[in-house]
Amino acid sequence: MQVFVAAELARRSLEEGLALSAPEAAALVADEMHRAARRGGSLDEVVDAGRRAVPRERLMDGVPAIVGDVKVEVLLGDGRRLAVVRPWGDRS
């Protein structure tokens, strides 16, 4: 539930044109991955949803260096999986 609340705050910040902090961005990535799994997506679709969740240009400076892997345990049609994504590429 805490991830959902943080993701909703992140969505509100984006709507207001604000850049996202590391906790907001990570929560939004995780929430979008969870939503993709709930819609019946494959593991690849879940990971892709995480990659697309927040464009790099919508982040505060330094966030890609702070947030590494985002990991979400999801229930897919073939069982539980650990979906792992590095949403903004390598740390830099």
Let me know if residue 91 belongs to a domain.
no
> Looking at the 3D structure of the chain, how many domains does it have?
1
CA distances from 2 to 7, 8, 9, 27, 45 (A): 9, 10, 11, 9, 23
pLDDT tens column, 5-56: 999 999 999 999 999 999 999 999 999 999 999 999 999 999 999 999 999 9
User: Predicted confidence band at 90 (pLDDT cuts at 50, 70, 90)?
Assistant: low
Let me know if residue 10 belongs to a domain.
yes
What single-letter DSSP state applies at residue 58? Answer: G
Which two tokens mark 27?
């929560």
CATH number of residue 80's parent domain:
3.30.280.10
Question: Taking the complete model, does pTM exceed 0.85, yes or no?
Answer: yes
pLDDT tens column, 53-71: 999 999 999 999 999 999 9
Let me know how many helices (H) and strands (E) the chain has, helices first.
4, 2
